[in-house]
Amino acid sequence: MSGPDTKPSPVIPAQASPVIPAQASPVIPAQAGIQAGAEHSDGPLRATSTSLLDSRLRGNDDEALRGNDERAVVLLAEPRGFCAGVDRAIDIVEAALAKFGAPVYVRHEIVHNTFVVNDLKKKGAVFIEDLADVPPGATLVFSAHGVSKAVQREAQARGFEVFDATCPLVTKVHVEVAKLAREGYEFLMIGHKGHPEVEGTMGQLDAGIHLVEDLAGVAGVQPVQTKRLAVVTQTTLSVDDAAEIMAAIKKRFPMVREPKQQDICYATQNRQDAVKMMSPSVDVVIVVGSPTSSNSNRLAEVARKLGVPSYMVDNAQELQPEWLQGRPRIGLTAGASAPEVLVQGVIERIRSLGAVSVRRLEGIEEKVKFPLPKGLKLDAPPA
């Protein structure tokens, strides 16, 4: 499902703000949180350039940022970009291509990022929505968002070589749904209609799981019974919105069972927390991410709710100079499916518009790495 409309909103005049000296590098302490994530490989999608960080940048004659008394500075949120689940999903497609050769078929976009999908297409991945488009005996990868039981059964019946790139944190939700369903529970799922993750989770059952998108949905949902009622959520929601909906559910159904652990993933929460920390220090927030990326859209929403204008860009070319006019302190982050190479491209674009420095804020260091599925671990080279 495409995220909310991300067309550029009217430019909001910048408020007066204290000058941040170009030479000083303010560091915002990281909030407490789950320190998890993925170790990045050195591939082109994962390369993290530090050549621009904490360094002076030269501007040019563009007037977009030069009408300010303050010198423009870019503040980089930490963490940002790829999470462990996205890293694993991309690795699965690349490992399948290396082991079995092209083409490798992928049901739905492996992750919601245009650059990533196009890069994998060049390497031999073929993205499809209908399994009827996959030839017999082909290698098939399920996307990071997960799939329904019906899709799993169809793939098995057609005899495909299947590798499941579903994020393990999404799989955790699927396992919980199956377990509680066996105990007679009915479910409310907080999520966005049409999103592939929601379709996959709801598709774990033939019946007994109801979608709740907002507060109005809480008032309107009609479960068959309420003695055994449990809640699950999409992993990429706004933490604050999900909490508000959960509170309304508990008010209407006091005996509802909440997840043992929060379903919203650590990476989503960490990136939203980073934007919350960064927003008071900036005049505008730029989010690198594709329009279809739920977690990227949520980052832009978080900034806007804090009163900071925010814009999403799929690449550097989409950044409009007028968004930065009169806004010398520019916050920059990226959704969990956006590679660092795109962030660096946006930095170069802002640099060309007159930014004089780039500073990386302190944040949570993410260290988790999810393993590849059996059958895809390439043989280690001989010693």
Contacts of residue 156, Cβ cutoff 8 Å, sequence gap at least 6: 162
Residue 284's H or E segment, with its range, is strand 284-288
Q: Would you state the structure tokens that stand for residue 211, as one six-digit string?
A: 């979608």
Residue type, 9: S
Cis amide linkage into residue 4, ω under 30° from 0: no
The CA–CA distances, whole Å, from 250 to 76, 188, 255 equal: 37, 11, 7
Size (the chain), residues? 383
Which are the catalytic amino acids? 197
DSSP category for residue 382: P
Tell me how crowded residue 162 is: count the other CB atoms within 10 A of its CB: 19
- Compute the Cα dihedral for 54, 86, 116, 112 and give only its sign: negative
331 forms bridges with which residues in the sheet? 75, 285
Q: What is the dihedral of CA 369, 374, 377, 382, to 10 degrees?
A: 120
Give the DSSP per-residue string, 108-159.
S-SSS-HHHHHHHHHHTEEEESSGGGSPTT-EEEE-TT---HHHHHHHHHTT
Q: What is the dihedral of CA 310, 314, 316, 321, to 10 degrees?
A: -40
Residue 209's H or E segment, with its range, is strand 209-212
Q: Would you state the structure tokens that stand for residue 13, as one six-digit string?
A: 């005049």
In angstroms, the first-to-last Cα distance of the chain is 47
